[in-house]
Amino acid sequence: MTVNPLYDSLFDLHAGKETPFLILDSGKVISHRAFLAMAARFAGHLTKLGLSPGDRVAAQVHKSPDALALYAACVQAGLVFLPLNPAYTHGELGYFLENSGAALLVCDGAEAAALRPLAERMNTQLATLNADGSGSLSDGASVCPDTFATVARQGGDLAALLYTSGTTGRSKGAMLTQDNLISNARTLVDHWRFEANDVLLHALPIFHTHGLFVATNVTLMAGGAMIFLPRLDIDRLIDLMPRATVLMGVPTFYTRLLDDPRFTRDLAGHMRLFISGSAPLLADTHRQFETRTGHRILERYGMTETNMNTSNPYDGERRAGTVGFPLPGVTLKVTDPDSGEQLPQGEIGQIEVRGPNVFKGYWEMPDKTAAELRADGFFITGDLGRIDADGYVHIVGRNKDLIISGGYNIYPKEIEMLLDEQPGVLESAVIGVPHPDLGETVLGLIVPAPGASPDLDAIMAAAQVDLARFKHPRKLLIVDALPRNTMGKVQKNLLRDQLSETFTTP
């Protein structure tokens, strides 16, 4: 018998079931059996293309049942799945292809002509998959059988490669193994009480951990169903909520629901669970939500390299402003950033985690892996936090200057590099400032070169061409100088303190 731990645990577990798995906005229902038949056809075609176990498959496609089936096909064929945000520009995409050595790029048909030269330069095959399920990948899969001989893999084999940037601006490929994904899904199914009769309202993207490896894997392992929306649409969220039992979202979901008078206690009354993550949930939002609906949102804490680390309890107090307790099997400690020594309870320091969920390391970056993943298995998350007297974990900041806007990670250095190249710019700094809906938004600060008057409109236009939309600065400001410490490092904390209250989000 072939053993592929991830496929056996997530997909094959419910292979023959005719029960719903995906409920589409159109009303179409795809059963577990039909979904796996689709995945098997894709797996067959990927093999015909010459892909071998361990090869990377990069997918920059729109959310669709077929895109999700491509993930399942990669698992079944022993390929490493590399999902990419459709908003990435061609320049950004080039780095991911080159660094990963992807054997295949799957893109939207509308992008194929523009991306073909890039794929040829990278010696990467190109296939298309559109949001409606059409494309060369589907055409090739259509003549393949509904079954596929699952490729044997081991728990330590790579299942996915997800890129996450640092403040140096160079993206890092987090290597996630089969065991990483299985262990986290199994823990969350138990911790959040998922069962086969649950229906998850899924309006998240599927190119990152939250929508793919948390929402989807948990639903698959439980044998439940998902109402599969292409994107966040509050009207559809409200219309379809009576058919769901669980919602997973980023804080933006909940602030927008609270802004809509149709979102009432009656509408949410039959829901079992609301979960929030990917960005901090304001305590005020937490309180407003409970007052409106009677539900307390369950906030948790995770990241690309680890999936989920902590969660507020299912039974017990879900404490606003905290991310709960370490999940079973996960060890979390707060340490001194300089010495690495564990700090006393209540003191603020860097958060480190260890467990079966923690990634294998960064793709082809041994030095970076060694710097962030200790020999004893603890991963230095880069987040600052503390553990209170009751054991709840509080995230109080980041020792890197990561900006989280609407659940998307934005790394200032990447934007600063572009701004610094513009005419008339001496230097720049990018910071996150509070935004009532997105949590944070991007503010760019520009120091003019001597005697120059930078054209802010032209600089903004350049950013809009070269950067994904979610990275665009909300506003650019001219400043005389940037504050620095004695070592010459820009003190972004001072900039945030100065501008967070005075900057008005347009």
Torsion of CA 178, 40, 207, 304, to 10 degrees: 0
Query: For the ranges 113-117, 126-130, 394-398, 452-456, which has the lowest average pLDDT?
Result: 394-398
Residue 164 has a pLDDT of 84
- The secondary element (H helix, E strand) that includes residue 382 is strand 379-387
Token pair recorded at residue 70: 């491509």
The reported pTM is 0.83
What is the tally of structural domains in the chain? 3
Q: Is residue 117 part of a domain?
A: yes
Give the β-pairing of 225-228 and 393-398.
unpaired
Residue 226 within a domain: no
Report the alpha-carbon distance of residue 492 to residue 91 in Å, rounded: 28
Residues 181 and 66 in one domain: yes
pLDDT score recorded for residue 167: 40
pLDDT of 57 strictly over 60 = yes
- Which amino acid is present at 308? M
Of 9, 2, 249, the C-alpha closest to 147 is 2
Show Cβ contacts of residue 14 under 8 Å, excluding neighbours closer than 6 positions. Answer: 21, 32, 220, 223
Residue 193 lies in a domain: no
Note whether residue 323 is domain-resident.
Answer: yes
Do residues 388 and 486 share a domain? no
Return d(Cα 473, Cα 444) in angstroms, integer.
Answer: 6
Element (H, E) at 159: strand 158-165
- Reported as half-sphere exposure (CB side, CA atoms, 13 A), residue 170 has a value of 8
Q: What's the rounded Cα separation, in Å, for the pair 223 and 245?
A: 14
Written as six digits, the tokens of 21 are: 């798995």
The enclosing H or E element of 254 equals: helix 251-258
Residues 418, 370, single domain; the answer is no
| pLDDT at 10 exceeding the cut of 50 | yes
Distance CA 19, CA 14 (A): 9
Which tokens go with 235?
Answer: 């009207």
pLDDT at 69 over 90: yes
Same-domain check for residues 122 and 240: no
What is the distance between the alpha carbons of residues 480 and 290, in angstroms, rounded to a whole number?
45
Alpha-carbon distance of 55 to 116, in angstroms, equals 19
Q: Running DSSP on this structure, what letter comes out for residue 289?
A: H
Show the beta-strand stretches assigned E in 130-169. Answer: 158-165
What are the structure tokens assigned to 365, written together? 């970056």
**CATH assignment at residue 156:** 3.40.50.12780
366 and 479 inside one domain: no
pLDDT of 51 strictly over 60: yes
Is 459 domain-assigned? yes
Residue where one domain finishes, among candidates 159, 186, 213? 186
Characterize the bridge pairing of strands 199-202 and 225-228: parallel
DSSP character for 58?
E
Q: Indicate the residue among 382, 398, 414 that finishes a domain.
A: 398
Burial class (CB in 10 A: 0-12, 13-18, 19+), 24: middle
Residue 437 is assigned to a structural domain of this protein: yes
289 lies in which domain range? 232-398
Q: Are 149 and 47 in contact (CB under 8 A)?
A: no
Helix (H), strand (E) at residue 301: strand 298-303
Residue holding tokens 């890039």?
A: 118
Which residues are CB-contacts of 421 (< 8 A; sequence separation ≥ 6)? none
Strand partners, 326: 310
The reply to whether 493 and 478 lie within a common domain is: yes
**489 pLDDT exceeds 70?**
no
Work out the angle between the directed axes of helices 90-100 and 112-121 (0-180°, nearest 10).
40
Give pLDDT tens digits for 279-326. 778 777 898 999 999 999 999 999 999 999 999 999 999 999 899 999
Answer whether residue 210 is part of any domain.
Answer: no
Comparing 77-81, 176-180, 335-339, 491-495, the range with the smallest average pLDDT is: 491-495
Q: How many CB atoms lie within 10 A of CB 200?
A: 25
Q: Where is the domain boundary, 344, 377, 398?
A: 398
* Strands 56-60 and 104-107, bridge-based pairing: parallel
Of 248-262, 394-408, 487-501, the one with minimum mean pLDDT is: 487-501
From the CB of residue 354, how many other CB atoms can be counted at a distance below 10 Å?
Answer: 20
Q: Tell me the mean pLDDT in the region 7-28.
A: 91
Q: Using DSSP, state whether 138 is helix, strand or coil.
A: helix
Please tell me the least confidently modeled range out of 8-22, 51-65, 94-108, 365-379. 8-22
**For 271, what's the count of Cα atoms within 13 Å in the CB-facing half-sphere?**
27
In a domain? residue 291:
yes
On the question of pLDDT at 1 being above 60, the answer is no
94 Rama sector, left if φ>0, alpha if ψ -120 to 50, beta otherwise: alpha
